[in-house]
Chains A and B, each alone.
Chain A
Amino acid sequence: MTTFGSTAALRATMDAYFRDVGAAAEQHLAPVAWCTSVGPAELLRALGFRVFFPENHAAMMGAARTANRYMPLAHAHGYSQEICSYLTSDIGAYLAGESPMQAYGLSGTPRADVLVFNTNQCRDVRDWFEWYGRRWNVPVVGMRSPRAIETVRDDDVDAIARQIEALVPALEAVAGTRLDAGRLEHAVRASRECSDLWEACLRTAARRPAPLNFFDATIHMGPAVVLRGADEAVTYYRTLLAELEGRAAARSAAVEGEAFRLYWDGMPIWGRLRALSSLFAEFRTAVVASTYCNSWIFSALDPADPVRSMARSSLELFIVRSEEAKEDYIARMLDLYHADGIVFHDCRTCPNNTNTRYGMPRRLGERLGIPTLVLDGDVNDLRCVSDEQMRTNVEGFIEQIADARPAAGSAAS
């Protein structure tokens, strides 16, 4: 993985965020809301909530490779091995009385006063939150989204906007305050600014050689996930963008001797980030862009029309789109980032973020004339990952791309 000067600022930003949420929960300094990754975070911030994102919490356990210790506890509570391993890691850790938050001085997962979901990504988030809602006897509210959307229509936007508005009274009751239009506008503005800066950071990888790759981006996206709508995220991405632009200008490569460029679709395999980063680097391959990291770009957000623009962003998201809309999006990204092929991660426990099961790799391969590879794995459950199979498949795939280049040498080492 690439070493960035901004990493110190990243750590400080994330550290301050975790301690702030923890203090709010443990010392009752502010109300705490749990929010799904693309839930109405801006609304929650405007109401003065400290916002906690359990998907980020679960990903931390995946990256630390502790998730597999916890999942069996959730399985024993009737939550299947086949459902989201974020959910089972997180609930299992709670049952074990452990949390990555303990490294930040918290006693465990910060307890929520309200849990707010958005089913645009999957049903699992709602089931996940309802488990805690029953446990803590706190409200679980959210947005119920249409799925597989071809074109985002105004009536869909209206429907979601009405759902967001309908959340306000329940959230005001928990927060003990009224929603202030100015604060909502500020949160949406900060969120949009964060989104634009994050997009610009990712976009530097369109240059050859790419100054950052997918594996680096999954680490540096932390503030875009947990501090969307807060000024701290904007400050961090200004720092990161300046560094990335400097690196791009100096032709400083994330992957030494970059010869091949790939696009990644699907969830990261958190417990194998470093291993995969090294594996691709061994073959001088930069994974330059991904659906996953791009999913925190919300270009529709508009402080002049906060609620409707939040609704539109929620519906424009890749995961909630039809196959055709997704394929068009990936085609645009391949072009933008000059990618030679696509790696699809078939994430065993997340069908929602897996695009291999209804023929997309073959359709896209034929339509664009580019090679595609499907890697079997999982976001957190390493029982679903075969390192050997992954290596064999990646190796063969890159050899194939190398062989197809008229004058290029073999990728063989």
Chain B
Amino acid sequence: MSQESMKLAAGIDIGTECVKAVVVGDDGRVRGRAVAPTRGYFQTCAHEALASACEDAQTDPAALAGIGTTGFAMECVANASVRVGDSSCHALGAFQQVAEPMTLVDIGGRDPHVIWVDDLGRRTDARGIRRCALGVGSFLMFTARHLDVPPSRLQELAAAAERAVPVSSYCSVFSAGEVLERLREGATREEIALGCIQSIAERIVEIGGFRDPLYVCGGVVDYFPGVLTALQSLAGVPVRVVPDPIYTAAVGAALMSLRQGEVS
């Protein structure tokens, strides 16, 4: 099928840390993608990410058959053709990529979820983390800032640690306080980096219900791959990553938009 005859839709996942946009063809393939940090007005970030994704896909935004939005600020895109909650989008987006029913762990800027996905890409159940452990992505950003490394280097620091110092609070704000206390007590940056990463994995494992195959998606595994390593050691089943994990919900939103086009 030529690009001209193909229907294209965009998906935008407007999260608390980043806005992710994709352009997806009606064959399900991702044609363009872009990430913009969340800052200032959500509308502006969404517009910026969408424009970049369209440029990456070499398509004109006016040629899109629809725009699906999801995530924290999904209401902020005025011209969206469909708005869908993020767990359903994660489920469909991940299913599109891996084509099998799964247990899916979404670790984004806010609250991690374990989502059970059936053989049609539908969410059949979902469980969240306890309330005080919200904001794990934001917590890791905080940690990286205090350890004076770019977020993606937190993993390198952690890999060099001989041991993890415990960062054990349930609450992200308390944990942030613990990071400062451990630094004051003389713990190394490496030990703290590993401790933080492990604490996130522990909170997620507590949600429970993991069954094989287990996949992970969301921005945290892109930015902080150490969380994946820690999860692999704790989960009790093999842990795989959905390709392009930061875009999973955006892909789901784009597919929802294409589907809606089929119905109407």
Task: Determine whether A393 belongs to the interface, using a CB cutoff of 8 Å to chain B.
Answer: yes
Distance between Cα atoms of A376 and B171 in the complex (Å): 14
A365-B125, A374-B127, A410-B256 are contacts. A399–B84 as well, Cβ < 8 Å?
yes
**Chain B contact residues (Cβ within 8 angstroms of A): what range?**
20 to 34
Query: In the assembled complex, which residues on chain A have CB atoms less than 8 Å from the CB atom of B125?
Result: 365, 371-372, 400
Task: Determine whether B87 belongs to the interface, using a CB cutoff of 8 Å to chain A.
Answer: yes
B122 touches A413 (CB 8 A): no
A386-B134, A410-B84 are contacts. A396–B72 as well, Cβ < 8 Å?
no
Query: In the assembled complex, which residues on chain A have CB atoms less than 8 Å from the CB atom of B110?
Result: 388-389
Query: How many whole Å from A144's CB to the nearest CB in chain B?
Result: 33
Task: Determine whether B20 belongs to the interface, using a CB cutoff of 8 Å to chain A.
Answer: no
Task: Determine whether B83 belongs to the interface, using a CB cutoff of 8 Å to chain A.
Answer: yes
A376-B131, A386-B131 are contacts. A396–B82 as well, Cβ < 8 Å?
no
| Closest residue of B by beta carbon distance from A397 | B126
Query: How many whole Å from A52's CB to the nearest CB in chain B?
Result: 34
Distance between Cα atoms of A295 and B122 in the complex (Å): 36
Task: Determine whether A409 belongs to the interface, using a CB cutoff of 8 Å to chain B.
Answer: yes
A403 touches B82 (CB 8 A): no
- Which DSSP category, helix, strand, loop or mixed, fits chain A's interface? helix
Task: Determine whether B130 belongs to the interface, using a CB cutoff of 8 Å to chain A.
Answer: yes
Distance between Cα atoms of A307 and B134 in the complex (Å): 50
Distance between Cα atoms of A365 and B111 in the complex (Å): 23
B124 touches A395 (CB 8 A): no
Query: In the assembled complex, which residues on chain A have CB atoms less than 8 Å from the CB atom of B87?
Result: 392, 396, 399-400
From A376, A386, A403, give the contact of B123 (CB < 8 A): A403
Task: Determine whether B238 belongs to the interface, using a CB cutoff of 8 Å to chain A.
Answer: no
Query: In the assembled complex, which residues on chain B have CB atoms less than 8 Å from the CB atom of A365?
Result: 125
Query: How many whole Å from B261's CB to the nearest CB in chain A?
Result: 13
Task: Determine whether B88 belongs to the interface, using a CB cutoff of 8 Å to chain A.
Answer: yes
Task: Determine whether B191 belongs to the interface, using a CB cutoff of 8 Å to chain A.
Answer: no
Query: In the assembled complex, which residues on chain B have CB atoms less than 8 Å from the CB atom of A409?
Result: 263
Most buried by A among B85, B86, B130, B260: B85
B131 touches A400 (CB 8 A): no
Task: Determine whether A412 belongs to the interface, using a CB cutoff of 8 Å to chain B.
Answer: yes
Supply 4 further A-B pairs (C-beta < 8 A) apart from A362-B209, A386-B134, A396-B88: A389-B134, A392-B86, A400-B126, A412-B88
Task: Give 6 nearest A-B pairs by CB, closest first.
Answer: A395-B85, A396-B87, A376-B131, A396-B85, A403-B122, A399-B88
What are 5 of the A-B contact pairs (CB < 8 Å)?
Answer: A365-B125, A393-B128, A400-B122, A403-B123, A410-B260
Residues of B in contact with A (beta carbons under 8 Å apart):
72, 82-88, 110-111, 122-128, 130-131, 134, 209, 256, 260, 263
Residues of A in contact with B (beta carbons under 8 Å apart):
362, 365, 371-372, 374, 376, 384, 386, 388-389, 392-393, 395-397, 399-400, 403-404, 409-410, 412-413
